Structure 1
Amino acid sequence: MNEHDFELDRFQAKHAARYRKFLVVVDDSPECQLAIRFACGRAAHTIGGRLLLFHCVRPGEFQHWMGVADRMREEARAETEALMRAVADEVYRHVGLYSEIVIAEGEAKEELMAVLQQDTDIFVLILGAHPTDDPGPLVRHFTGAVAGRLPCPVVIVPGAMTMERIDAMV
């Protein structure tokens, strides 16, 4: 073992002691699929890489009808859990990584910011941008006025990319 190998081993041991979480927002959009694919590839090639899958359920619109609101909330939660399980299974099949899942209820911008501020192992926030003139509300928000105050970098995956191009990059 030469001196370079020893330094590399020390570097890897130091950085393997903590996770590097790739936080990706999950929904059923095509650009989300691209962001997940990019996050998978990057996490799989990073020492301590993990995926943190985030989804935010918006509060029900019928708050004044308690029974209806509760049922809508339960249905939304069940649909979200099924979506997140399917995505986590796909991540495992694709790169062999288990995913951490966060399901929040509220406004996505605020809930996502709270997760970013609470989890110090988040290495990067990965968002998919819609391939039109409007990249989407989360991309606008996290690349706008709050960008300079974020605790981690933001990666935007363009919605016009292909899975093949992403696989070639990561």
Structure 2
Amino acid sequence: MVSQRQSRQEGHRRKFLVIIDGTPENGRAIRYAAMRAKNSNGGLVFLYVIPEGEFQHWLGVEEIMQAEAMEEAEATLAKEAQAVRESIGVDPETVVRVGNTAEQIHALIDEDRDIAILALAAGNAKEGPGPLVSSIAGRGMGFAVPVTVIPAGLEDAEIDALC
């Protein structure tokens, strides 16, 4: 059972969750969530998931690979967070997890009861809308919060007008 949201209770604020995954469409989800957070006096959370199973080597090599993956995750999050602070004026929380992406999204939503909306962006590649959107839509993974999918092709001004 998923814990009840607290984002509307006194002392809490609604947070928008964005998965930082390096896909070309990721910037649209970031912009949408950041603008919604700014315009609603809400919060913004960036989640970077390091896939589990990448570290199946000898112990010394595994530790080095884990450290490198963590450094890459933290650097990516720092870069995206700085860009949002400078361009939109929102200071996001950043979270790094190791494991299955959908499971880590569920876990974070369950742990942080202020997260009220998951923002994803659809890609426009002929293969489909992107791996995360496809996995959620294709398997009907139910989240305890609404999932907003930003359509492919929206420009910044169009996203801003929606927020």
Match for residue 157 of structure 1 among 147, 150, 160: 150
Q: For residues 16 and 167 of structure 1, do their structure 2 counterparts lie closer, same or farther at Cα, with a shift above 3 Å needed?
A: farther
Matched, 1:31 2:18: no
Q: Which runs of 5+ in 2 are unaligned?
A: 1-7
Aligned pair count reads: 154
Using the size of structure 1 for normalisation, the TM-score is 0.82
- SS of equivalent residue, structure 1 residue 54: strand
- 1:131 match: 124
Matches within 5 A, 1:89-108: 89-108=82-101
- TM-score, structure 2 length as denominator? 0.86
Q: CA deviation at 1:93?
A: 1.1
Counterpart of 1:122 in structure 2: which amino acid?
A: I
Question: CA RMSD of the aligned region, Å?
Answer: 1.8
The verdict on how the C-alpha distance between 1:102 and 1:62 changes in structure 2, with shifts beyond 3 A counting, is closer
Q: Give, in whole Å, the separation in 1 of the partners of 2:161 and 2:89.
A: 18
- The match for 2:141 among 139, 143, 146 is 146
**Number of the residue aligned with 1:110:** 103
2-structure distance, mates of 1:51, 1:151: 17
Amino-acid identity (%): 36
| Structure-to-structure mapping, 1:3-82, within 5 angstroms | 17-47=11-41, 49-82=42-75
- Alpha-carbon distance between aligned partners in 2 of 1:58 and 1:34, rounded to the nearest angstrom: 23
For 2:11 and 2:85, the matched residues in 1 are separated by: 22
Per the TM alignment, residue 145 of structure 1 is displaced from its structure 2 partner at its CA by 2.0
> What CA distance in whole angstroms lies between the structure 2 residues aligned with 1:26 and 1:62?
20
Matching residue's letter, 1:168: A
TM-superposed deviation, 1:15? 5.8
Contact 1:24 1:54 in 2 (8 A): yes
Give ranges in structure 1 of 5+ residues lacking alignment: 1-13
Do residues 86 (structure 1) and 79 (structure 2) align? yes
The separation in 2 between residues aligned to 1:44 and 1:158, in whole angstroms, is: 20
Larger Rg: 1
The residue type paired with residue 150 of structure 2 is V
